[in-house]
Every structure is written in structure tokens, then in C-alpha cells.
Amino acid sequence: MVNVILILLTAFVNPPAPAYIDPLVLEQFHKHPTADVLVLFKSGTDGWLPLAGKMETKEDKGRFIFEKLRAEARVSQRSVRRHLTRNQINHRAFFIINGIHIPAADYPLIEYLSGLEEVARIEFNSPYALVKPVQTVSDIRIPESRSPDLAAEWGIERIQADTLWSMGITGKGTVLGSEDTGVELHPAIRGSYRGTLDFNTLDHHYNWHDAIHSLHPLNKDSTDNPMNNPCGLDVQTPCDDHNHGTHTVGTMAATDFQIGVAPEAKWIGCRCMERGWGTLTTYIECFEWFLAPTDLNGQNPDPSKAPHVINNSWGCPKEEGCNPSNFQTMEQVIRTLKAAGIFVTVSTGNEGSLGCSSIQNPPAIYEPSFSVGATAFNDTIASFSSRGPVLTDSSFRIKPNITAPGVAVRSTIRNGAYAAYNGTSMASPHVSGTVALLISAFPSLAGKVELLEDILEKSAEQKTLRFTCGADSGMVIPNIVYGYGRLNAFRAWKTAKEMLSTGIVNSTVVNIRAFPNPFSRGLVFDFAGGTLSGKLLIHDLHGRSMFTQSFISVDRIELVTSGWASGMYFYKIEAGSRLYTGKVVLVGK
């Protein structure tokens, strides 16, 4: 009896701390009776997510992560879902992030949820906005029966994708995901849609999803009438209410061998924006669908049907609710997709006129995102292309990762037409298409996201610019303007071939993580629960050796970096026949 009393007294004296409530949620109650919220539950993904790195195939990674996530969400959300259903409160549960979206939560419900032990955070479902093209250069109506002898677009030639076409490397066997304003089945991309069985027969199950269930409150064109949207809501067939998504898909996978980087790849799509306006939950819904596509009823998810790449051209500025208090939510989603073997490509944004640290919005700021800036005809940075380093999350992260053609990029738009647009939104699809080409040429690269990133960065045509932001310069590689340089698909193929032919690529062992990155006083190499024996070598940008150490059966290496100068460093870990490489950044101490 005494033990029972002590336990009860301890529980009474130390009740569970209430969940964090985003101040933006509380602000809503000063103006409205309800708030649109995302309730996040405590999660144990950090303990098992790295285990996917030990798996060889993309399919194994995707299945493992899908099953673990869904099982965790089912257990931790059970009580809250029962309460919401019993009280007839509209909600949607997610598993890619352990959370539940409640579009209209009143204050008593927020109080109740925040007191539950299993609830970690309650965040405002902030509006996200499309990274809109800088301007329309021209709208060009071209007959559907164009001559096949017409030259490829300038961006295709600049990255030498057409050189790979001449070698028979066209993206066959790969799948690209479009998370955007939707997609129209334009004649130039209808044939590359995975749901096209033949030109007259379509199957949209597992190939199309619409996350737009209501009109967006910040869209000035919206009213309560769904017919005000050109597509409507919850549409069951591919549709684009803006042009943007159709344009980016054309650059990735148009079948005409003129516009699309990977003309024989397939694409699938999820509409996440209502005429350019989205929310945290519409993006999460699409990301979850890409992790495990479903039928048109949202049932029977199948991670084996996930795409190899997801292209994203959207951002969320602070004015619209994205701030350091909720950055971690979307970053965790993208980190999960990367662990599942899905390459996430994003546009850096078109705020280059703001100068230093104009890459400031999710998802371009995240470490697991592969962020893409834009270059012009003369191979210089486009004036609008946003620059690093990333300061909004205090990481000083070097972004972009890479740049690609993004000026006067001609591609498909609605109503069977073509248009040339400027923007980092136009650059990102060049990278997504190139990833498809690499996987098509070397199927063993499927699911090996970090290796693909390494290949793209190492093979980029190095570019510099006399541009300085504090201790960061545009004259080093990588830099805060071009990243590692301008994309070159042919050089990426050659780099991949060399790496694979030497037998140094093997992803079945531990997933090596260097942290913190950027670092200042010390650096840790963690082997994600496994052990390695071998040698660690670190050198600076000039090739000078900074550190060398042999090790036997260790699970981590900890370094003291006092005396090192600020800048970029490259590491190499030799472990038998395996070689691991990467880069780290030392910021001012």
C-alpha cells in the first residue's frame, strides 16, 4: 500500500508537462472561434529511422519506413482519434509525421489536447505559397504536330542531357513525382503519365492525388463556391488550376525530346496548392501520398509505387506563418522521405534581389532538401536566384546545393499551349529529370539519395562570383551563389560510372552522419548504430590534409577542431572495399 501511495503522490507532484502550443494558434482565438491546427504526437523515429540506411534497395527502405510509421501512429493517436470521432470533429490523421490535422479546433479542445501525455506540439496550419515564376517571357502556341527535327531547348543542351539521349539514356524505368498546382494531361506529357495505359485509356489509381479539399482563405479569388477553382475540389483526374505544375512536369518528362530532360521517364502527380496557395497539411498530405501512393479512395497505400524523385517549387515565408518554432515539422517529413530512398528536389526561391541569405523559406533551407538555384543563358547566376547562407534557422548552412538553367525555359502549360518562364521553379525540374537519367542508366542508384547528391555535386561545372556575406564567399566551392556549380547531366553520368566501376559504392552498411554541420568547436562522425574499421581522412578546399586517423570497430569518432580556419572541408572514410565521402562546414568560432 505504501508503494502505491508513493507512486500516486509522485505522479501528482510531477504531472506531465503540457504540450507546446504555437503562439500563432493562440493568436487565432483573438479573431476567430476556432483555429486550423496540426496536433503532433511524441515520436521515436530518431531511434529507428537511420536503420533504413543499412538496407540495399529503395523498395526495402520504403516498406520498412512505411510500416514503422503507420504502426507508431496507430498506437499513439488511438485515444485522440476516438475522442474526435465520438464528438464528430472533422480531422485527418497522418503517419509520415505523427500528427492529426483538425481544421476547426476550438479553445476547449486545444486545452484538452495540450494536457495529454502523448501530445508533443500543437502547430498552426500555416499557409504556404507557390514560388511563382519571375515573369512570363512569352506565351507560344505551337501545333501539336511539331517537327521531330526541332532542336532541344537551350537548358537541355546546356546540361548535356541530349548527349545522354544519343547514348540511349532517356529515363526509362524511373518515376518522377510532381508536388505542385496539379498537372494537365497536355499532349506532350500525356504519354509519360504513369496512368496512361494507352492514349485513350487512363488509370488514375496510385498515379494521381488531390490534396485540395477546400478553397484557400488567402486566395483573393476564392469564395465558398468550389466552382470558382478551374479544377474544382477533390478531383479524380489530373488537373492544373494554375499552369505552374504542367510547366515543371514538361521540363522533367515531356516526350518530344525537346523540352523534357527525361523523355521516357514516367510521372505521377499530387495537387498541393489551390491556384498557388497551400498549407502545411496539403504539403504533408502529398508527401505522405508519395511515400505510399493510394487508390483514388485514399485506401490501400503501396510504398512500392513511390516515385524515385519528387520535384517541389513552393515556399513558406514568415509572413505566412513559417517560423523557427515550426520549421522542424516539414524538415522531419523530408528527412523521412530521404531515408525511404526518395530524392527531394526543391527550388531556392526568387528573392535574389535581397542579396545575402535570401534563401530563407522552407523547404529550400533544409539540410535533407536538394536545393536548386537558377542560371541564365550565359551561364551566370540569374539575378532573381536566391542566395545563401541560410540564417533563418541559425544554421549558416551553405545553399543552394547546385544551380541549373532557369531563364526563359520553354515548357508545357494548360490548354495544349507552351510558355517560357523565368524562375528557380524552372531550374529544379532540370535536376529532377537528371536524377531520373542517372537511375535509368544505373538502376543500382535507386534509393541511394546521398550518393546521388554526391554525384551531382562532384560533377557540377564549378562556378564562382565575387559576392561576400560575412565570412562566406562566392569564390569558393561550394559557395552561397552557385552551390557546387551548374548541373551537367553528362558529367554526372561519367562520375557515376567511375564510382560504380571501382566498386567503392556499397550502401548496405551504416549510414554515416557528420554533426553538427555546420560545426564550430568539434565534429562527430556517427555510424548510426553500426561499427566500422578503417581510416578517416579530412582535407580542406586546397587539398591540404587536416586530419588522419585509423580506427578499429568503433561506432563514432569525435574530433576537436580548434585551430582550423572557417570554411568547407571534405572527409573520406576508407573501410575495406567501401569508401564514404562527404563535406562539412566550419563556421566562425
Cell digits of residue 492: 554526372
Radius of gyration of the chain (CA): 24
CA distance 165 to 380: 26
- Residues 2-49: pLDDT tens digits? 444 444 444 444 556 788 999 889 988 998 999 999 999 998 887 888
| Domain with residues 130-142+154-501, CATH architecture | 3-Layer(aba) Sandwich (3.40)
- Residues 491-545: pLDDT tens digits? 999 999 988 876 545 433 446 888 888 888 789 988 876 677 778 888 876 667 7
* Alpha-carbon dihedral 179, 185, 186, 189, rounded to 10 degrees: 70
Expressed in angstroms, the distance from the first to the final Cα of the chain is 57
Does residue 384 carry a pLDDT above 60?
Answer: yes
What is the pTM for the complete model shown?
A: 0.84
CA distance 355 to 361: 14
CA distance 132 to 135: 8
Cβ burial 355-388 (10 Å sphere, 16+ → b, else e): eebbbbbbbbbbbbbbbbbbbbeeebbbebbbbb
CA distance 143 to 576: 58
Does residue 319 carry a pLDDT above 60?
Answer: no
The DSSP secondary structure of 397-466, one letter per residue, reads B---SEEEE-SSEEEEETTTEEEEE-SHHHHHHHHHHHHHHHHHH-GGGTT-HHHHHHHHHHHSB----S
Specify the domain boundaries for CATH 3.40.50.200 within the chain. Answer: 130-142+154-501
* Alpha-carbon dihedral 239, 240, 246, 249, rounded to 10 degrees: -60
Q: Which amino acid is at 239?
A: C
- Residues 102-113: pLDDT tens digits? 999 999 999 999
Per-residue pLDDT, averaged over 200-213, amounts to: 96
CA distance 121 to 332: 14
Q: Do 337 and 345 contact (CB within 8 A), yes or no?
A: no
Residue 174 has a pLDDT of: 98
For 513-586, CATH gives: 2.60.40.3080
- Residues 144-203: pLDDT tens digits? 434 445 689 999 999 999 999 999 999 999 999 999 999 999 999 999 999 999 878 999
Region for 323 from its dihedrals, namely left if φ exceeds 0, alpha if ψ lies in -120 to 50, beta otherwise = beta
Range 72-79 contact pairs with CB under 8 angstroms and sequence separation of 24 or more: 72/43, 72/44, 72/45, 72/98, 73/41, 73/98, 76/41, 76/42, 76/43, 76/118, 77/41, 77/118, 79/116, 79/118
The DSSP secondary structure of 348-410, one letter per residue, reads --S-GGG-TT---STTTT-SSSEEEEEE-TTSSBPTTS----B-TTS--B---SEEEE-SSEE
Does residue 90 carry a pLDDT above 60?
Answer: yes
Residue 218 has a pLDDT of: 66
CA distance 305 to 324: 33
Residue 447 has a pLDDT of: 96
Range 479-482 contact pairs with CB under 8 angstroms and sequence separation of 24 or more: 479/398, 480/356, 480/387, 480/388, 480/389, 480/398, 480/399, 481/373, 481/381, 481/385, 481/387, 481/388, 482/373, 482/375, 482/381, 482/400, 482/402, 482/403
Does residue 142 carry a pLDDT above 50?
Answer: no
Tell which residue, 215, 198, 213, has the closest CA to residue 275: 215
Mean per-residue pLDDT of the chain = 87
Specify the domain boundaries for CATH 2.60.40.3080 within the chain. Answer: 513-586
Among the ranges given (25-39, 152-166, 261-275, 555-569), the one the predictor scored with the smallest mean pLDDT: 555-569
Cell digits of residue 252: 522533367
Per-residue pLDDT, averaged over 299-305, amounts to: 98
Cell digits of residue 455: 554525384
CA distance 223 to 219: 9
Tell which residue, 304, 308, 296, 299, has the closest CA to residue 270: 296
**26 sits in which H/E element:** helix 23-28
Cell digits of residue 169: 539514356
CA distance 327 to 308: 25
Catalytically active residues are 180, 244, 425
Per-residue pLDDT, averaged over 287-306, amounts to: 98
Percent of all residues in the chain with a pLDDT value above 90, rounded to a whole number: 62
How many residues are listed for the chain in this entry?
589
- Per DSSP, 579 falls in state E
Does residue 138 carry a pLDDT above 60?
Answer: no
Q: Do 86 and 65 contact (CB within 8 A), yes or no?
A: no
Burial of 90: CB neighbours in 10 Å, binned 0-12, 13-18, 19+ = exposed
CA distance 533 to 81: 48
Q: Which is more confident, 214 or 485?
A: 485
CA distance 150 to 168: 19
CA distance 280 to 413: 26
Q: Do 303 and 242 contact (CB within 8 A), yes or no?
A: no
